[in-house]
Amino acid sequence: MYRSRPSGNLDNRALSFLSSITEDADLFYYDLLGSQAHVLMLYESDILSKKDTIEILKGIDQLLNHSDTLKEYADPASEDIHEMNESAIIKITGINVGGKMHTARSRNDQVVLDIRMKLRDELNRISSQLLNLIKSLLVRARKNTDTIMPMYTHLQQAQLGVLSHYFLSYCFSLTRNFERFSELYRRTNISPLGACAIGGSSMPIDREKVASLLGFSDIVYNSVDATTSRDIMIEFSSISLITILDLCRISEDFIIWSTSEFGFISLDDRFSSSSSAMPQKKNPDPLELIRGKTAVIEGNLVAASSIMKGLTSGYSRDLQEIKPLLWKTSTTLEGSIEIMDSIVSTISIDQNNMYSASATSYAISLDIAEQLIKDGNISFRLSHKVMGAIVDYASRNGNISLSSLTIPDITVALKKINFTHPILTVEKILSIIKLITPENSIKFRKTKGSPNKDEQIAMIDYIDKMINDYEKDLELRLNKLYLARDHLDKKIKQLIYKPS
């Protein structure tokens, strides 16, 4: 349909190579929605007659709401969704009417409009899913403020904490991702339509009116920027990678914690797989797939960036290849958030195993060292050496728990570093070790943001307030889009069914 200068038809192999019609399927609705607003604007700008406007809008309505019409008039051999929809309207109304629909626009601004409209909806859906996951983590946090467990660095037991502290850490991390997506929504929610191919139009169009009809907050001001830039797509891919990296870390933790060696958690049977050969197996396959899908999203970001890397300003057909990457990233992220939410909500937590690991852990060593500083007025480095010597002795002699050490044990341990002190006698050191139980290890830590129960409760309340604020913001965004689409629909129906 677009072949005004080239003669004849495209070679079938070239058409197959060029066509993005399969990848564009998700843009069908948005392309027609954008066309409705564009045609209505052309009419209100005195570029289209009322009669032609009504015929075109009726044709669009048929394509949107009647599958038989779509099958009859849509050509699946089109280069893209834009050509397919426009050619269908021309078949329905004739070229003298339908051929006016594309006045003062180009596929270049049209495709970016479609992408922005679809991406807005994806951002809202992903944002809603993120809030659901954060709320599920918060539910788990509320129930586990007293569930003591080892915390790890380098996969070695580091300090004792509580499970609520772990869940809250991801509440904070995921709220930042929500904020990133919200900021991206603001940058996405501006209309490129009316920029035409690259340099605007001599027709007296109203870009702001189209933007308003489609629920956009503004227009992309510069026409070159409007048709060339794909930064929102790169940014979406980047934020998606950051988000799924958080899910990937949770997945790895849960995979390790669900092993027989740890036994901290157990996945619900509905989110576990079995072995084809080993009947005892209960495999965390969904979590493993989140790890694998993280690489897919990372690869999509690299691919999209590489496509942009060698392009000049203005539209190039290379940009077509970013669309499937974008939608693949979106569906992958949505599926991963949804499955992680279900897993978080259904895992079984073995508090006894977590406490048992904590009670025999050397992870209270820093707590003891800090108590030695308070009671003996010694430097941190000297306290560090004392505890290092005691733990070394305990681990070399059958991994004795610190609470099981005796005066002779500590005496032998401290001889290695020639430690003597007028206040910190062997008896005093042993009494401090006995004092630092797992419960007191948590209780004695008072710093803001620590696992102390008061801090846990404060953080839970803080996140709860954030969620309420975010839900209001998201609801406002959704309502604005709903009202804009409802307003556009009413204007079209009034024009079609109540012609003067």
Measured in whole angstroms, the distance separating CA 439 from the mean position of its chain's CA atoms is: 36
Please list the active-site residues. 154, 275
- Structure-block tokens of residue 335: 């599926």
SS3 per-residue string spanning the chain:
CCCCCCCCCCCHHHHHHHCCCCHHHHHHHHHHHHHHHHHHHHHHCCCCCHHHHHHHHHHHHHHHHCHHHHHHHCCCCCCCHHHHHHHHHHHHHCHHHHCCCCCCCCHHHHHHHHHHHHHHHHHHHHHHHHHHHHHHHHHHHHHCCCCEEEEEECCEEEEEEEHHHHHHHHHHHHHHHHHHHHHHHHHHCEECCCCCCCCCCCCCCCHHHHHHHCCCCEECCCHHHHHHCCHHHHHHHHHHHHHHHHHHHHHHHHHHHCCCCCCCEECCHHHCECCCCCCCCCECHHHHHHHHHHHHHHHHHHHHHHHHHCCCCCCCHHHHHHHHHHHHHHHHHHHHHHHHHHHHHHCEECHHHHHHHHHCCHHHHHHHHHHHHHHHCCCHHHHHHHHHHHHHHHHHCCCCCHHHCCHHHHHHHHHCCCCCCCCCCHHHHHHHHHHCCHHHHHHHCCCCCCCCHHHHHHHHHHHHHHHHHHHHHHHHHHHHHHHHHHHHHHHHHHHHHCCC
